[in-house]
Structure 1
């Protein structure tokens, strides 16, 4: 397989086809890939077909709206990721401007962004651009969107359920939310629980967990299932919601990749349904029409290259990063 791909790369494979394929796999959706690449869905589908025709391999098996990579598709993705990483490093090494770029970045973020890729990006960005200052402010997603629309910040990391005119939106983390209770709750440690066992339980909630706000799918789920418990505690901070759940105020929803250590330490207990409730995306957002400084443009370009290089499981810490 490697010999075939090397020959095509040397002779006639268009790198843009591999780049499009990377985004398709990372987004797990033709439509989301098209939005991220600023092209039409037919253009993305055509690029995928051209790549498969060129390599003479089926890369994706479609099952309705879902798809899975074939063995060849998985190998192509791995090799394309390695190539993209090498190209990104080459661009950095050859850009003589990197050491001279100065300026500041104002990044707005929701609380508790937990991602080894995000941490690695910030470390690499500082090594490469040591004279660029980075200021990160934590706030609610609605306030992040408002600030970006007012053009008062470089970019944001937050929740955004629907498209917002003038904002560019790219999914960075896709978090699966599930129900948990804490060590001090009466359901802690119980097995064989069903959804009916939860219907009368009180809730710990995010303040954005209401119809029309960024986490409203959680509210919709509770309403559809007929939950009758009250919201007895709430916070905009993930860490404080987690603390209140642990303290036994009620059951609540948390991203499953963030609570792995709490489960191992027996601080939290998983509740039905086993597959979780809903996927919620943390997006990288910025204003398309805001005039960016060289430092800001460099930051956004570097972030986008990082997103293209790493898969969603790697960003969530579910798969090792390159070289680990």
Structure 2
């Protein structure tokens, strides 16, 4: 490709750059296709157009997977600055008009929608009724990804059980979530569950651990050794339902399967842990009107949580 020292940047390029950023954030064309509802062929064509317009090779894609070039990484970082500045401009103009506009990006971990103690949906309803011109985006991520999104500016706030303290972020206690150890029908301990289970038999069971949760959170008390790992709760449930593994599940998420007696908790009065959910915000964004307005709605009727 020829590299021009100058090129005209127009509306088409801005839209292509936005698509490119989505591809990078999704780590590939396939996930970006689902997020944008644009066909793979169209995404590929648009990226070829952008590369031609910029005179740069932005990424490599094929059987080996998606990978940014060094130039692509630089373009992504520069484009992220453009879109953050655009969002700041829209927000600032909205504040001058005494009206909230712009884009609010929220991040949350998986499997919160079934938690009756989680006031996220009601907060969204109240916020939208007051500020219907604000464009909302929501993403499901692991806690570390949420923290990275906050630091990089792609998220305004995030809701999760955070296991570390990242400099530059503020953490507000939010809600608590009780997890119990479960096994499924077909597991050797199922017929003895919930209360007539030998603790040594549990210790010998094959245990599923969530990759982003520190081992001492779930394993310390009962000397259980992990035999499989997952990222999200649906994957955890698949392994537990196989009847070959035990694992911790939030009580609200497990309720459907416990009600139909497909899974049972193991010594629930003894083996449990609590996930302390928090709302995380980047410190230098805490006073932005958009962030403050949503945070106020989110914390308005939240049940009391234990401070960490």
TM-score, normalization by structure 1: 0.57
Matches within 5 A, 1:139-150: 139-150=141-152
Equivalents in 2 of 1:152, 1:176: separation in Å? 30
CA distance change for structure 1 residues 181 and 99 in 2, over 3 Å: closer, same or farther?
farther
- Summarize the Cα distance change of 1:293–1:280 in structure 2 as closer, same or farther, 3 Å threshold: same
Three-state SS of the structure 2 residue aligned to 1:269 is strand
- 1:61 paired residue number: none
Question: Measured at CA, do residues 293 and 151 of structure 1 come closer, stay the same or move farther in structure 2, by a change above 3 Å?
Answer: same
Q: Which moved more, 1:105-114 or 1:268-277?
A: 268-277
**Is residue 2:247 matched to residue 1:252?**
yes
Q: 1: CA distance between counterparts of 2:219 and 2:151?
A: 27
Residues 148, 286 of structure 1: 8 Å contact kept: yes
Rounded Cα–Cα distance in structure 2 between residues aligned with 1:205 and 1:271: 16
**Deviates most, 287-296 or 262-271:** 287-296
SS in 2 for 1:257: helix
Residues 1:197 and 2:201 are matched in the alignment: yes
For the Cα contact (< 8 Å) 1:98–1:128, is it kept in 2? no
Question: Cα deviations across residues 234-254 of structure 1 (Å, max 9, x unaligned)?
Answer: 221112212221122300011
The aligned length equals 206
> 1:171 touches 1:283 (CA, 8 Å); kept in 2?
yes
Distance 1:149 1:181, change over 3 A: same
Identify the residue that residue 280 of structure 2 maps to in structure 1.
285
Deviation at 1:298, TM superposition (A): 1.4
CA offsets per residue over residues 157-205 of structure 1, 9 Å max, x none? 1122343322111122211222100123222232411312211100122
Gaps of 5+ in 2: 1-95
Q: Distance in 1 between matches of 2:110 and 2:186?
A: 24
SS across alignment from 1:199 = helix
Partner of 1:226: 223
**TM-score normalised by structure 2 residue count:** 0.60
Tell me the residue number matched to 2:157: 155
Secondary structure of the structure 2 residue equivalent to 1:259: helix
Note the 1:41-80 alignment, pairs <5 A. none
